[in-house]
Chain A
Amino acid sequence: MFRISCPFCGERDENEFVCGGQAHIARPEPAEQVSERDWAEYLFFRDNPKGLHFERWQHRYGCRQWFNIVRHTVSHEILAVYRLDEAPPDVDREEAV
């Protein structure tokens, strides 16, 4: 159990939120030139790191807004919360793996 600071509502319990998986996945363009391999990467393949994970969350049972967080997948410690229109924070991605 952890608490997340929604950028719009403040700190709330984990179960008010849902995780939307890995953040910052760019859709390959243009669609007609994207290979099957690249589509598979885009749709299904994920980093799934043991360590820091940049991920999307939605405050489903609150303001319903989407935002990003940086969270450690072992300690569940949240290092940063930032809005979708903000650049990812500068953290060492390989830290404490």
Chain B
Amino acid sequence: MEKYSFPKILYHALRGHKHWQPAWRSPLPKKSYDVVVIGGGGHGLATAYYLAKKHGVTNVAVLERGWIGGGNSGRNTQVTRSNYFYPESAAFFEHSLKLYESMSRDLNINVMFSQRGVLNLAHSDHDMEMLARWTNAIQLNGIDSEILTPQQIKEMEPLIDINARFPVAGGFIQRRGGISRHDAVNWGYARAADALGVDIIQNCTVTGFNISHGTVTGVQTSLGDISGEKVHITVAGHTSVLAKMAGFRLPLTSMALQAMVSEPIKPVLNLVTVSGAIHMYVSQSDRGEIVLGAGADVYNSYAQRGSYDNVESCVAAFLTLYPRFSRLKLMRQWAGIVDISPDTSPIMGRTPVQNLYINCGWGTGGYKAIPASGDTMADTIVNDRPHALIKPFSLERFESGALVDESAAAGVAH
């Protein structure tokens, strides 16, 4: 792996940037692997990376139907936070946030993690009481969280109209939350995994599983059969489709979740701001675009496009809080297919098929989980038992009833 550094940039700049190595190889698939990871999104790549890095399992393939960064890992809004209500969620997402904090160094790529703070707004006294309860829970989980008055919010984010149609009654902030650059996260994990010997195979569609006596032995793909001692499904919205190929169902619903960006402008927004009540969240990317998102289109969909009425309601909510942006043009709008579980918490671990593992149900908030998800799933796959942090998120919880009903995960923040 060619190490990225300032002298390296200088060296290549003087040679016209014509001699950079590709960030990862594009090998043909081998006949067999120790672990086959289906899905080359952030979660799949991170799993492959930690398998190689922490467990020495380097005979790993990552199979991606499209291209790296072309699915949900390039369609999210880049927010990372750990302000969850339940201890199970808090422990997991705090682990993830800490891995984000050291990611640029670990992967030798600048993921531009900017801990600018994630602000949740309240618009009534009742809202404020709920946020206070939420804040208390976060603090009891040992995570930073702070209640703010409308005046403090106005000082931190001057463009918010705190006397809007739904006036700002207050809010809370997690200062360590923020945004990073999703492409760099994907590329970083792909490049680091590749350097450790992982084969990243793009344009390779999985069409079936080879299962004998209840144990998976490999996958059928558009590039032929590939056998794998262990197989891991981490394909977000398409998890139910792959589970059906393997002969089981999951408690998932796939929906289209939208986001959109404006034309780029000078830096004007300081925070990631979320309003559950008026249903929108917003931040400004380092390129200057205002990044907006709202809820999913709430019906089953595998179409990577969203409804226009959802765009309208998201923009309308945004403009009630930030009337100053009314003349800003939207530049792009898109949707990703998210898999939503009944309790809005992820489903991770073993499946009814031996040696076949899943990592799904991230719904509207998978981006922030990428490093911890990869770390804990790699451990789970190697040891064939759930990592301590993901034990509460097993598929069995739907039978036992021990749901982790995390409404914070289902809120509009991503």
Q: Footprint of B on A, CB under 8 Å? A: 1, 13-15, 18-19, 21, 36-37, 39-41, 43-50, 53, 55, 71, 73-76
Contacts and interface: CB of A to CB of B under 8 A. Distances in A.
19 contacts: A1-B307, A14-B307, A14-B309, A15-B307, A15-B309, A19-B298, A19-B299, A39-B399, A40-B251, A43-B342, A44-B251, A46-B252, A48-B240, A48-B250, A53-B300, A71-B299, A73-B303, A74-B301, A75-B303
Interface string B378-414: 0000000000000000000011100000000000000
A73 B254 contact: yes
Using C-beta atoms within 8 Å of the partner chain, give the interface range for chain B.
20 to 34
Contact of B300 (A1, A13, A55, A75): A55
B285 interface: no
A49 B240 contact: yes
Nearest to B239: A48
Overall SS of chain A's interface = mixed
A76 B305 CA distance: 11
Interface of B: 238, 240-241, 244, 249-254, 298-303, 307-309, 339, 342, 398-400
Contacts, number: 73
A48 B299 contact: no
Nearest to B307: A1
Given A44-B342, A73-B254, A50 B302 contact: yes
Contacts of B253: 21, 46, 48
Contacts of B342: 43-44
Contact of A37 (B298, B301, B303, B399): B399
B360 to A, nearest CB: 11
B240 A47 contact: yes
Nearest to B306: A1
A40 B250 CA distance: 10
Nearest to A17: B299
A1 B249 contact: no
A34 B251 CA distance: 18
Nearest to B304: A74
A19 B250 CA distance: 19
A48 B244 CA distance: 10
Given A36-B399, A49-B241, A73-B300, 4 more contacts: A19-B299, A46-B253, A49-B240, A71-B300
Contacts of B244: 47, 49
Given A47-B249, A50-B241, A53-B300, A1 B309 contact: yes
Contacts of A18: 298
Contacts of B240: 46-50
A84 to B, nearest CB: 18
A44 to B, nearest CB: 4
Nearest to A53: B300
